[in-house]
Amino acid sequence: MSDLETLTPERVVHYLDITRRARAKATPVPHEGTQERSQLEVMLRMADDYASDAKHFLDTGDLVRAFGAINYAHAWIDAGVKIGWLDGHGDDVLFTLP
């Protein structure tokens, strides 16, 4: 099995960091007081919850669930950028830009 096929704690930590950077960089597009803003808050809460779950799974040694959870977290953030509720500031490394 190659290094690219092996799930390690370091690999999970790497993706936790990527998602942390994405969460910090993505900023809400102004929709104050609208349904979109309320839905965005739900999406960001989901991202934060999945990131927290990933850390928990990593701490307990469950690398498969940690890796899955951090990918879900990042997907919530990326979706917010993709639909235009978050601004990814042109970063096509952290986000799938529209």
Q: How far is 80 from 41, CA to CA, in rounded Å?
A: 10
* Contact (Cβ atoms closer than 8 angstroms) between residue 54 and residue 73: yes
Q: Which residue has the tokens 């701490």?
A: 59
Beta-bridged to residue 86, according to DSSP, are 28
Domains and CATH numbers, the chain: 7-87 (1.20.1270.90)
pLDDT per residue as tens digits for the range 21-77: 999 999 999 877 889 889 999 999 999 999 999 999 999 999 999 999 999 999 999
Q: How far is 81 from 12, CA to CA, in rounded Å?
A: 23
pTM, two decimal places: 0.90
* Contact (Cβ atoms closer than 8 angstroms) between residue 44 and residue 77: yes
